[in-house]
Amino acid sequence: MKENISRKDFMKYAVVTAAGLPLTLSGLSAFGLPQKKQDSSVHTDKVSISIFSKNLQWLNFRDMAKLTAKMGFDGIDLTVRAKGHVSPENVIKDLPLAVETIRKEGLDVYTITTDIKDANEKHTVDVLKTASQLGIKNYRMGWYPYHNEADPITTINGFKKRLTDLAALNERYNIHGDYQNHTGLFGGSLWDLWMAIKDLDPRWIGCQFDVRHATVDGAKAWPTSFKLIRNHIGSLPVKDFYWAKENEKWLTKNTALGQGMVDFKQYFQLLKKYNIIKPISLHYEYPLGGAESGATTLTIPQDDVINQMQGDLQKLKSWLKEYEIPQM
């Protein structure tokens, strides 16, 4: 990884951010830091498609950006978490470098994926402040687990307090926090997440609506949950799955887009009906030579991985076109 910011400029930048002072786009330029593309100001009228960088953990910043652009994506949903492309403890230095490298290839960073669960965690402020100063508008949070012995309503109220504190911090840094509805965890049913965020400002805190997990936990009920939480949606991961019986037990199996049980027809109809224009993050969770789990080394030919990734991307683009959802 080539460092393109001089030590002198980096030290200036570090002083400004440590002081909590605002840094404008012109200020970014003065420090040699990557400006957000002038024509990409959130693109509230068009859907962007990013690849989840967990699936490209076998590449460095430069090679990841070049491959992503070649495949036809609009951006990269960058992992800013432990064992991700950017480690939280190094975010002040490494996130600007990653974003600069990505933008040099004509891409952008519309979302980042973090482990942030609380406003008072060690690296929360550094991550949100740095992301905001780079023009990044959305981040995915970490997950909250339920505990078997705890009362669910009491637990939800506790989560609401943490989300309230995060919403205030998000407002301070002009960034939206997205809690993913992950099966088996708080938010998996979506109703519990709605109970926790319904009184909070949707400009600062909300949901990363995952239709795959919503289908696992909701089957035929997820469209109702979607309608309930739609005004709080900040981003949209896309992936597919099916149920399979193994050793007398039913298990979820991830698969390529269109090969599983997710009702994408109804999903895109709802996006169209309610004019949900949010950043999409394409995930590859099915067996793909280790890319699906964030491996740093592939066990199958790289070309096979790339061909599969491009296949899912083209499928997604064709659906957006079919349902007349504007894309970049």
pTM summary value: 0.87
26-61 pLDDT per residue, tens:
344 444 455 554 433 345 799 999 999 999 999 999
Q: How far apart are the C-alpha atoms of 254 and 148, rounded to whole Å?
A: 27
Architecture in CATH of 42-322? Alpha-Beta Barrel (3.20)
Backbone dihedral angles phi then psi of residue 327, each to the nearest 5 degrees:
-125, 155
Q: How far apart are the C-alpha atoms of 215 and 183, rounded to whole Å?
A: 9
Alpha helix positions (H), 54-183: 61-71, 91-104, 124-133, 152-173
CB 52 within 8 A of CB 281: yes
Q: For residue 145, with 0-12 CB atoms within 10 Å meaning exposed, 13-18 middle and 19 or more buried, which class applies?
A: exposed
Mean pLDDT of 78-92: 98
Give the residues across from 112 on adjacent strands.
Answer: 78, 139
191-218 pLDDT per residue, tens:
999 999 999 999 999 999 999 999 999 9
CA neighbor of 182 nearest in space, from 155, 145, 223, 139: 145
CA 132-271-234 angle, 5° bins: 20
Distance of CA 120 to the CA centre of its chain: 21
Q: Average model confidence (pLDDT) for the chain?
A: 91
235-293 pLDDT per residue, tens:
999 999 999 999 999 999 999 999 999 999 999 999 999 999 999 999 999 999 999 99
